[in-house]
Structures are given as structure tokens and as C-alpha cells.
Amino acid sequence: MADIVIRIAASNGDGVESSGSLLSKIAARSGLNAYYSRGYQSVIRGGHVWSQVRISDAQIYSQGDGIDILVALNQDAIDNQSGQLNSGAFVIYDTSKANADVLKGKGYKLVGMPLIELAVENAGDPIARNVVSIGALLKILGLDIKVFEKILSEMFLRKGQAVVDNNVKAANAGYNFAGIEKAYELKGDGKARYIINGNTALAIGAYASGCKFYAAYPMTPASTIMNWFAANENRGVVFKQTEDEIAAINMTIGAATAGVRAMCGTSGGGFSLMVEGLGLAGMTETPIVVVESQRTGPSTGLPTKTEQGDMLFVMHASQGEFPRIVVAPRSVDEAFYVAADAFNLAERYQCPVIILMDLFLSESSRTVDSFDFSKVKVDRGKIATAAGSERFKRYEITPDGVSPRSIPGTQGLEFIAASDEHDEYGDLVSDVLAGLEVSVETRRKMHEKRMRKVDTMLKNENVFVPHVDTEGADYYLVCFGSTTGAALEAAERLRAAGKKVGVISFNYLMPMDKEKTKMLLAGKKLIDVECNYTGQLAYLLAANAGIDIEHKILRYDGEPITAAYITEKANEIMLKW
């Protein structure tokens, strides 16, 4: 099995992101598995940035550890990345921009290339040095350069055949450069794959489920969801870039009230502005989907770094109590299915559904075979279609807490939707108009009706319990969301070293089936794995299921957690147990 991590590093604006994207696309079309991630600064141009592509002929679940091949396009790349190099790593560096003397004598394979000179000579443009470097990478990896040539043709044909030919020449110049030799034997399975990031997968899943309206104010790392909807307005969806996040959620509520499947998205700072609107959706029982892609905080924190610090925030956002569903996809492909399911849950229980992403999952790309659109089913819940002899009770008190709703404009099914407490018809309740006794009793009944939905969810749905990998293990890594991939690979490494370690991972976080969760976790040796400081999942489990997880592996420096990090910390914990 071959498993290689390649990192391409330079300054923002040097084409590093496009280089990583190209390399991951080549791997996907070569029948290999790839995982693409990046690190960048919150500046438009300048600052040290990198793209990382992990390529393997086996299944992979995370971004990988360390660097096997570094492509250094400037001196900063060597200075900043040399500490991440694995033993015997390749370092390809641009001799006109970098000096690798500091790495000599350390066992690395240093390959100096005049990348700019080769780019100008073959393509007539120094910007093509990225194409030259990818050509060199393909030779080292043992991959067919013809796949790259086809991709280049697709990319540049609109600019003319001469541009295609020049880029193909630049790629081959790198591939055939003296000193570049095949070091790996990556063999694909012959099946071309898709390479897609979490946000795009989520957007496609939402669209497949019938989402027709998306509103957002640009805020990374949720912005690529907005980009997808903006690019696909000709496919029967309406996208609105709003003046702020308050407008975004209110427009989403308006669209959903009108009967449209509607969604908005943002990050933690923008969600802070959406909080009042979230409460409005809770009171009016409007089925909306909200995406919250986490980055570090508080305030703007590290705007381009990842974290899992908003879980408890989204669970308790807005004043008062009302049902909501919180789900945290654990992988790129799961983001598709979770988004599709979110609309069914929102409409079935007439409440907000919050999809909790994070920067790492939102922006990282992974190869997927395909999405099974046949699994996307549409359930719009209780929709009244014909008027009865009496006035329509939009908020009718029912045993399951879910009332029939109507699409505005349906004759005889008119209703009032207001932010104040109301009766079954939607008429507002106040001490002055209804009298204290009537007001108090109506409030109690309506509040209980809404909250009964939680019991109905837990009774009817089978998703609100965690997933277990490796039954009968001695130890379990407990995690949620995007940390799951690294935890699964860490568990594999620990098992290979003779330790029986499994993974218990959560995606549907709220509501939590307390009894089933308690039965599943009780008596097991548990290690909490999260990207935050306080161990928010562990707190949630203690509060809901009475399970206290003493041992924790936490990361909160803005970098995504890795399998190596988890493995090292887990070994330390198990030695002390």
C-alpha cells in the first residue's frame, strides 16, 4: 500500500490552492483516494499558505500526518514547513526563490529545480511553474502524466490550443527534469472518482432534497455554500446575498413560511446575529435549516482556522425553550446525506435544524465514488390541503406536538404567524385581552405542545444515538463531527500496535436519547476527542446521560486534529489508566 502526503507551500497569490486542487483531481481520475486540505492567512495577498494532498491506493479518512513530499516555491516554505517533514522526505524547491542548504545532511532527498525558468521556456509565463512542479510530482508518484494533460486541455481549451500545448510542455518539462525519478508505485483501481469539499457536498444534498431558497451574507468558511447556490440559480433555486445575517435568517423564515424548503448559512459570528431569528422560527414552528460552520473564536479569533467550539452555543441559542435538531456531519460524503435529511426533519417536526460544520470539513475535499440520489426521500410532514367546516387551527394541540400546517394562499387555511405566544389559531395571548387565567393556561398548553416534539423525535427516529466502530474494544475514542476521520485512523494504528481501541462517534447531537446513550457508554473506558478547550461533547454527555469522561484529547490551536496527535495522546492516557 502506498500512502503519501504532499504539501505545496508559498505565498498567498502564488497559485498554491489551484495546484493542490489540480493534484487531487489527477489522483481522483487515476482511480486513487485523495484528501485535500489547506492552510491560509486572512489576507488577500501575501502571508505563508499551503495546500496538502494525501494520496493513497487504500481508503483514507483524514488529511494525514507530516509531509512526505514538500514543494517549496519560496524560502518561507522551507523555513515554515521543514519541521513537518517525515523521515526521508522529498523536497522540491524553486532554485530562484529558495535555498535548501539548511536541510542538507538530514536524510532528505533535495531536488532543486529552476521552476520559473522552465515555465518561461516552455509556457512563456512564469505562472506556469506550478504546472512544472506538478509534472515533477507525477514522476515521483509514478502516475500517468496523460491524465494531467487531459485536465490541462479541459482547463485551457477556451483560451486556445496554443495555451493548452504550452502548459502540456511545461508539465512534461517537470516530469522529465534531470534528477526526478519514480519513488512510489501508486496504482489506482481504474475507477475515476469525484473530488469534492464538505460545503459543496452539503449544498448538493440540500438541492437534491428540494431546497429552493438560500440566503447568506459572505462569511468564511460557509461562503462556498453560497457560491454553489449562486452558480446554480438557473436550476430552479433562488439565492439572495443579504446585507447581513439577520436579514438572511428572516428571509429564510419567510420563504419557509410560504412553503419553500429554505436554508441559510454562516459561521459563529454570523450565527450570533441570527439568534433572535432562530427564536422566531421556534415560536412560529417554521421549518428552516441553518448551517453553522465553526471557526476559532471568540469574536473573529483566527478567521481562517478550525475549531469545534460552537456546539453548546447553537444548542442553547436564543431565549426561552423550543425544540431544535443539531447534527454534525462526520465526513464529506455524510454532509450530502445529512443535508438531504435535514429538510425532512425540519418539516416533519416543524422546527429549526442546525447543521454544525467546521472550517476543516467545510473546506477540505475528499474523493467519493458517487452520491446515491435514490436514498434522498422527501417527507414534507403534516400539510393541510383542504379546509374544514371550522377555522383552521395552525397550532393545534396534538398528542405528538406536531400541528398541521398550510401553504399560504390555500383557501380556508389562513393563519396568523407571530413572535408572541398564541393560541391554536395563532391569535396572540395577553393578560389584557384574554384575562390572566386564560393566558396562563394557554401558554402552558402551547409550550408543552411544542416541547412534546422532542419525545416524538426520539420515539420515531433512529438517528439520535452514536455509531460504534469495533465492538468489544477495551478503550473507545468518543468524538463528533469532523474529528471522526482522524479518530478512526488513530484507532486502526492503535489496534495494529496490539491495543483494542474502538470509536464511538456522534453526528445527530440534539436531541439526545439519554437512556440509549447511557446504556451504550456505561462501563466502557472512554477517551474524549474534540477540537475545543472545554470538552463540550463530554459536558453534554455528563449533563444528559450522566456519563463522566475523565480522559480527554483536546486541540484548540486552530489546526485540525490528526491521527498521529490522537495516537500519541491516547498511548499516554492508556499507560496511566
Q: Which domains does the chain have, with CATH numbers?
A: 3-186 (3.40.920.10), 196-375 (3.40.50.970), 382-461 (no CATH), 467-576 (3.40.50.920)
**What pLDDT digit, counting tens, does each position of 401-418 carry?**
999 999 988 999 999 999
Question: What is the side-by-side strand order in the sheet with 238-241?
Answer: 238-241, 211-216, 261-267, 289-294, 353-358, 325-327, 508-510
Tell me which amino acid residue 314 is.
Answer: V
Q: Please name every residue paired with 22 in a beta bridge, in sequence order, or none if there are none.
A: none
pLDDT-flagged residues of the chain (< 70): 431-438
Distance CA 575, CA 570 (A): 9
Distance CA 318, CA 277 (A): 8
Q: Please name every residue paired with 467 in a beta bridge, in sequence order, or none if there are none.
A: 505
**What pLDDT digit, counting tens, does each position of 475-490 carry?**
999 999 999 999 999 9
Strands 353-358 and 501-506: unpaired
Q: How many other β-carbons are positioned within 10 Å of the β-carbon of residue 400?
A: 15
Q: Mapping DSSP to helix (H, G, I), strand (E, B) and coil, where does residue 405 land? A: strand
Q: C-alpha angle with apex 551: 547 to 557, nearest 5 degrees?
A: 115
Q: Rounded to the nearest 5°, which phi and psi values hold at 11?
A: -100, 155
**What pLDDT digit, counting tens, does each position of 197-232 carry?**
999 999 999 999 999 999 999 999 999 999 999 999
Length of the chain: 577
Helix (H) or strand (E) holding 18: helix 16-29
Helix (H) or strand (E) holding 505: strand 501-506
Distance CA 217, CA 245 (A): 6
Q: What is the pLDDT of residue 437?
A: 66
Q: Taken in order 470, 472, 474, 479, is the CA torsion positive or negative?
A: positive
Q: What is the pLDDT of residue 433?
A: 55
- What cell does 133 get? 512542479
Distance CA 485, CA 565 (A): 13
Q: What is the pLDDT of residue 386?
A: 87
> Counting Cβ atoms within 10 Å, is residue 232 exposed (0-12), middle (13-18) or buried (19+)?
middle
Q: Mapping DSSP to helix (H, G, I), strand (E, B) and coil, where does residue 480 land? A: strand
Q: Enter the DSSP assignment of 375.
A: G
Distance CA 201, CA 369 (A): 13
- Residue 174 C-beta-side C-alpha neighbours within 13 Å: 31
Strands 48-56 and 3-11: antiparallel
- What cell does 290 get? 441553518
Distances (CA, A) of 438 to 5, 399, 434: 67, 21, 6
- Residue 235 C-beta-side C-alpha neighbours within 13 Å: 14
Q: Rounded to the nearest 5°, which phi and psi values hold at 405?
A: -120, 160
Distances (CA, A) of 118 to 20, 70, 529, 534: 20, 19, 46, 51
Q: Mapping DSSP to helix (H, G, I), strand (E, B) and coil, where does residue 237 land? A: coil
